[in-house]
Amino acid sequence: MRSLHFPSSLRAPSFLALLAIFAVAVASTGCDSRFEDVNDNPNEPKEVTPNLLLPDIIRGSVNTSVNTAHTTGNLVLQYTAKVSFATEIDRYNWAGVGYWQPLYGDLRNVEDMIQIAQERDQPQYEGVGLVLKSWIFSMLTNAYGDVPYSESVAVQEGIETPKYDRQEAIYRGMLADLRRANELLTPGSGSIQGDILYDGDLMKWKKLANSLRLRLLMRLSEKDISLNLDGGDVPVSQAFQSITSAPDAAPVFTSNDDNAALEYLDSRPNEWPRHTSRIGTFRTFRLSETLTDTLKHFDDPRLSVFGDPTAASVEDGSPKFVGVPNGLTNDASDGFNGGRDFQSGLNFTRYYDEPDAAKGLIMTYAEVLFLKAEAAERGWISSDAQTHYREAVKASFEQYGQSTPPGYFGQAGVSYPTNNSAQARERIGTQKWIALFYTGLEGWFNWRRTGIPDIDPSVDNVNGDEIPVRFRYPESEQSLNADNYQAALDRQGPNSINTEMWLLE
């Protein structure tokens, strides 16, 4: 087994490292061969293989995405609001968010899986590894800006203090890896075991690779850069079009059956991660007034999927939804509208009570259609923007088992204008915001780029009436990787939740 060296700021051992530590411990016990013979476990793997690493990578990274959505992303984009104790996050008092360490831990295992797959000539696992690597790094760089990338993980031997790569370089790397994954994930490249996301379906992984490419390319929509494609430099719009125009060579999601949505089970460790939280803590998250009022205005049935009517209205036999303004102080939030019985919470059954009711969303068919709608509206592709928009909304309804209400698309605020591009993008952005509910931090990432929906800062915020645009680097980086941390700040700006990263400049 090769020697592994981890950056000092990312010291949690990978799966392989743990296995190595276990092997050393066993070897040092001084037991004779008879003990070894008697205690030989025929079911214990003799070596680590990609299929052993894959389920923990998927579960760990998706759970981190779900948990961060619940505690931070849903609040900042005003899907939910916080009441009672500990409303600091909703008021933008952001200190450390538990995002950095767990994702880098998963990335070390991803790199181990990719290297083992290359050594064993298993391109199917290498391709899946590249998809997961790109998705996890996209979460990190979109949240922090410049982050350790090229020197960040176990395959970079001897590097204790990894440099922070520029965000532009990270985006180029992610897009290149996803292109490579698309080439590797072909029929006949081998079967996949341990795949708790797609049950070994290589075509769905291939579609996810290309759908993620569309997401990343649209994130670059405001950047005037060229990307290398087939040996030549092309604008972002042409790179996007090269995917949508080649469904055989670069397929993307074509139905909700393709959704990258981890299905949870009814027992540990495979259950919806919020199911394990305290019930009292869960109930302090309420539906936001912003989301609630928007869905009520559109008579949108997804409201009853995302949240519950107030307890008092259910008891009275006339259920109704009342959202809570974001950023109220503890006392003000606890007493809003008469107290908790008169406030709508998250759908208790779906997001807490039943461990397998909700899914861990990475990306959906609805999002792909919204990306196509925006691309068509921008003139990047020649298809009809309105058609993509309407199909995207329908796909979101169907994702939650809902039918599109009659007359839904005829409403003010929903109907698609064919001669007003700015208004059309507002329609696309608003519906995309709704559809991205609980999809990690994607709603926030997309809002930073578009400013849609037009939301006001939370009421009693402590951030000068500015909605945060990034996470702070963890404090451990200041002490364990000080020089590279400081170099990133010199390029990017202060370690502040208001500092705009390269994507937003």
Q: Provide the residue-wise pLDDT of the chain in tens; the chain has 505 residues.
A: 333 333 444 444 455 544 443 443 333 333 333 334 444 555 555 578 999 999 999 999 999 999 999 999 999 999 999 998 878 999 999 987 889 999 999 999 999 999 999 999 999 999 999 999 999 999 999 999 999 999 987 555 678 899 999 999 999 999 999 999 999 998 888 889 999 999 999 999 999 999 999 999 999 999 999 998 877 899 999 999 999 999 999 999 999 999 999 999 998 889 999 999 999 999 999 999 999 999 999 999 999 999 999 999 999 999 999 999 999 999 999 999 999 999 999 999 999 999 999 999 999 999 999 999 999 999 999 999 999 999 999 999 999 999 999 999 999 999 999 999 999 999 999 999 999 999 999 999 999 999 999 999 999 999 999 999 999 999 999 999 999 999 999 999 999 999 999 999 9
The verdict on whether omega for the bond into residue 269 sits within 30 degrees of 0, i.e. cis, is: yes
Tallying the residues shown for the chain, one arrives at 505
pLDDT given at position 453: 97
Cα separation, 391 vs 340, in Å, equals: 37
Cα separation, 83 vs 79, in Å, equals: 14
CA atoms lying within 13 Å on the CB side of residue 207: 20
CATH class of 51-263+358-504: mainly alpha
pTM of the model: 0.92
pLDDT given at position 25: 38
Query: Angle, to 10 degrees, between the axis of helix 50-68 and the axis of helix 15-27?
Result: 130
pLDDT given at position 165: 98
Residue 80, phi then psi, degrees to nearest 5: -130, 170
* In the chain, where the domains are located: 51-263+358-504
Cα separation, 476 vs 88, in Å, equals: 22
b/e 351-363 (16+ beta carbons within 10 angstroms → b) = bbeebebbbbbbb
3 state SS of 224? coil
pLDDT given at position 424: 98
Cα separation, 266 vs 12, in Å, equals: 28
The verdict on whether omega for the bond into residue 453 sits within 30 degrees of 0, i.e. cis, is: yes
Q: CB–CB of 138/61 below 8 Å?
A: no
